[in-house]
Structure 1
Amino acid sequence: MAGFEDRMGRRDAVAVMLATLAGGAIAATWPGAARAAGIGGAFVDLLGRASDSSLDKLAEPGAFYNDPDIRIGLPLVGGLGGGLGGVFGKVLDTGSKLGLTDNLVRRLNDAAGVAAGEAKPIFRSAISRLSLADVPGIATQNDGATQYLRRSAGDELRGKLRPLVDDGLAQVGAYGQLDSLTRRSNVLAKAGITHDKLGDSVTGQALDGIFRYIGNEETKLRANPLKPAGSLLKGILGGN
């Protein structure tokens, strides 16, 4: 009887440890609680690694501009969205040959890189506070944890990324260039491209690119059993 109680004590201790790794108590019975907690903790670690790696890559000079999948462009006419810049943004970028934009678009991408280099703490903070309530859904998709992070903390991250983007736009001279271009031509003013509109558009597009990279990194980590996070996930999801 004592042996049985000792074994149960050890199992309960493991359950508590895993729940702590997951970031809080889980209202379920053993072994379901411990299993969910272990998976939750593994995904928190996975997301942290994926976000750090992604932001390091995007902070490299030219990273945003050189990747056509995430390249940042000027806002659409009337501020109808950012996306990857839109038709009007591409026209203005091409118009640099005529002296209209003077490579303003490249400066926007440089600013996004500056912001990415400063964004690790805000992403780590958001990740550390995830409840990871939808563990089954997260576990079944290669970028499930990234999608969960975006659903759960996307608005918060956008709000905290915006000041970093504004600082980056000022640092690389994009806001100054916008002011200069606006004085020389009314094209940008007619398009409604102001400091606020530009900052908001670059923030949205930068966040799209960051989440795209985090999702790709998550997929790689899951697939690589030699990585600590990948190994932990395989052990938990593959166990009985």
Structure 2
Amino acid sequence: MKAYFFVSALILSSATWALDLGDLLKGVGEASSKKSSAPASKLSDQDVTRGLKDALVEGAGKAVSTLGRTDGFLLNDKVRIPLPESLQNVESVMKALGQGKRVEELKTSLNRAAEAAVPEAKTLLVDAIKNMSVADAKAVLTGGEDAATKYFRQATETKLHERFLPIVGKTVNRYKLTQQYDRIAGTASKAGLVSKEQANMSEYVTGKALDGLFFMIAEEEKAIRRDPLGRSSEYVRKVFGSLQKR
């Protein structure tokens, strides 16, 4: 009955669907062929902090550049943003009503919105790196394989959401289907038919964009921890390489 209500509401509405990290990265370019065998416990605080910050600059920078470009989300199966679940359930009905093209346009726009927003993460991620204390660096270094990603998320997620939301909204709200969805889903949410997270398209896409960003940062972090010796920064090789010698 709940699904029927939502489907019916969307069908009735169908007639109106007219639908750099750049400066810091220069520092990461310092190359050296030296490989340190010093255990993490014997590394200086300066080495630990520098190595961790270089690694974060490298990982976060790659994540932002990968996602913050055309097709960064749309053609990446791991982070592509789908229609909200409630729209997925009626997608075939919408196409049967001749709305297929507009549905595809909307799906593309969700991902384009995320791609446009992600570059805004640059400044906040850099600030989080600059503000990292020695204690933070040591905790991240010896933490789990996604400890740095968790640090980033805790330090930046709220502000990133604030930065992303208006950019996302500017893109997705061009579509009347989005406006229709927001009205219907907002009402359905109050009745418990749609989750709060999916009751507004801009909020939904912003949340998915953040999930995608932190997912890619986590992927980069894992790669650095697995193969620190392949990194350009001497400090990254020294600090993360020491963990592999334990």
TM range (shorter): 0.5 to 0.7
What is the deviation of 1:71? 2.1
Confirm or deny: 8 A CA contact 2:161 2:210 kept in the other structure. Answer: yes
Shifted more, 133-142 versus 103-112: the winner is: 133-142
- Give the structure 2 partner of residue 232 of structure 1: 238
Find the aligned partners of 1:140 and 1:122 in 2 and give their Cα distance: 22
Matches within 5 A, 1:50-199: 50-74=59-83, 85=84, 87-95=85-93, 97=95, 98=97, 99=99, 101-103=102-104, 104-131=106-133, 133-134=135-136, 135-136=138-139, 138-167=141-170, 169=171, 174-177=172-175, 180-181=176-177, 188-192=182-186, 197-199=200-202
Whether the 8 Å CA contact 2:71–2:112 is kept in 1: the answer is: yes
Report the identity percentage.
26
Contact 1:73 1:89 in 2 (8 A): no
Q: Report if the CA contact (8 A) 2:178-2:201 is conserved.
A: no
User: How big is each residue's C-alpha offset from its partner over 1:175-214, in whole Å with a ceiling of 9 and x where there is no partner?
Assistant: 121xx2368xx56522129xx9222221111011000000
> Which whole-Å deviations, capped at 9, do the CAs of 1:94-127 have from their partners, x for residues lacking one?
5552317532121011110111234322221222
Contact 1:138/1:148 (8 A) holds in 2: no
Residue 24 (structure 1) aligns with: none
Label 1:44 to 1:190 Cα distance change in 2 as closer, same or farther (>3 A).
same
Q: How many residues align?
A: 188
Cα RMSD, aligned residues only: 3.1
Superposed displacement of residue 236, structure 1: 4.9
| Structure 2, unpaired ranges of 5+ | 1-39, 188-198
From the superposition, tell whether residues 239 and 154 of structure 1 become closer, same or farther in structure 2 (CA, over 3 Å).
Answer: same
Which whole-Å CA distance do the structure 1 matches of 2:93 and 2:44 have between them? 57
Q: For 1:200, which of 192, 195, 203 is the aligned residue?
A: 203
Check whether the contact 2:80–2:111 (CA below 8 A) recurs between aligned residues.
yes
Residue deviations 1:126-166 (CA, integer Å, cap 9, x gap): 22222363424542322211112212332232223333433
Structure 2 residue matching 1:68: 3-state secondary structure: coil
Distance 1:52 1:182, change over 3 A: closer
Structure number with greater CO (CA < 8 Å, separation at least 6) is 2
The superposition leaves residues 8-41 of structure 1 with CA deviations (integer Å, 9 ceiling, x where unpaired) of: xxxxxxxxxxxxxxxxxxxxxxx97973442222
Q: Within 2, Cα distance between the matches of 1:52 and 1:158? A: 18
Output the TM-score relative to the length of structure 1.
0.65
Q: Distance in 2 between matches of 1:165 and 1:105?
A: 13
SS in structure 2 at match of 1:69: coil
Alpha-carbon distance in 2 for matches of 1:142, 1:67: 22
TM-score, normalised by the number of residues in structure 2: 0.64
The letter for the 2-side match of 1:60 is R
CA distance in 1, matches of 2:119, 2:156: 19
Q: CA deviation at 1:72?
A: 1.8
